[in-house]
Amino acid sequence: MRLICPFAAGGPTDAAARLVADGLGPILSQRVVVENRTGAGVVVGTEAVAKARDGHTFLYTTIAHAVLRPLFQNLSFDPVGDFEPVALVGTIPMLLQVNNDLPARTLPELIALFRANPGKYDYGSSGAGGAVHLATELFLHQAGGLRVNHVPYRGAAPAMPDLLNGSLAMFLNVASDGVASVQRGTTRGLAISGPRRVPQLPEVPTFAEGGLPGYEAYTWHMLLAPAGTPPEVVRHLGSAVAQVLAEEALRRRLEEQTMAVRTETSPALAADWLRSEMAKWSQVIRQSGITAQ
């Protein structure tokens, strides 16, 4: 069995995929391998699974899947019709980080600063149409239509030096990527986008605690099967993933990456989640005029 991961080897998505694959092997009584298939964002790897008809190839992906349809007009596959959701592995919140010298030490102060200085400040993202870009545009909209300039980078790592030197005022990072710099004190964490604080940064409040109730944004991990996979296979694999996520040692390793693990996962839950995320982020893309690079 192959899990196609459309992200580079060694990254957080790849690491989680390999943990899940290792757990699935004994349950399914077969070898489960992760194959990294990158290119054109997640398009190349996703297309490979959409066209797979061998019964042994599945997709391990993220929020990137939910925005393929509104961002790309000429895909050779349908992100909805060509896939069957199998299991939602977990959700990872976003961490609002700012430069240490920025004259805003709380979320309300940051919103007030941006409101008083429209167009003066810049925020970074890990690429147009990615989780960071989408989450930031949703934040700016829900905070009252704040005007902050977008500067896209090729990933989160290249943006960090500019956040540290003050070229960027803000970076709404995936929490698993941003925790270390806040812990070291090289950036300041103002808010976490989930319903509760993360154990790694207990002093950082949620957006709701900071005065912006209703704001939630995550990246997430999910298994998808090619359309046409027999329903009993989808159900069996979904049940196997749930068993893997119920294992305490594995769950703790995923939680170390700030993931809220979905031990109650099922194909139906994954389908509902994916449908909701597609609707939510399609609206953000339309409102913000976001296009893929």
Residues 236-280: pLDDT tens digits?
Answer: 999 999 999 999 999 999 999 999 999 899 999 999 999 999 999
Q: Minimal CA–CA distance to 222: which of 37, 73, 83?
A: 83
3 state DSSP class of 16: helix
Rounded average pLDDT over 194-203: 94
| Cβ proximity of 220 and 94 under 8 Å | no
The fold for domain 92-192 equals: D-Maltodextrin-Binding Protein; domain 2 (3.40.190)
Provide the pLDDT for residue 164: 95
Distance CA 51, CA 44 (A): 11
| 92-192 matches 2-91+218-288 in CATH topology | yes
Rounded average pLDDT over 20-26: 96
Rounded average pLDDT over 89-106: 96
The pLDDT mean for the chain works out to 94
Provide the pLDDT for residue 12: 86
Rounded average pLDDT over 7-16: 89
Q: Enumerate the domain spans of the chain.
A: 2-91+218-288, 92-192
For residue 256, what are its two tokens? 């170390």
CATH (one of 3.40.50.11030, 3.40.190.150, 2.40.50.90, 3.30.70.640) for 2-91+218-288? 3.40.190.150
Query: Tens of pLDDT along 134-187?
Result: 999 999 999 999 999 999 998 888 999 999 999 999 999 999 999 999 999 999
Rounded average pLDDT over 39-59: 91
Which amino acid, 248?
Answer: E
- Within a 10 A sphere around the Cβ of 68, how many other Cβ atoms? 21
Rounded average pLDDT over 92-101: 96
Asked whether residue 293 carries a pLDDT value surpassing 70, the answer given is: no
Q: Which residue has the tokens 């996979």?
A: 229
Residue 85 backbone dihedrals phi, psi, to 5 degrees: -60, 135
For residue 32, what are its two tokens? 């489960």
pTM of the model: 0.91
Provide the pLDDT for residue 108: 97
| Cβ proximity of 285 and 203 under 8 Å | no
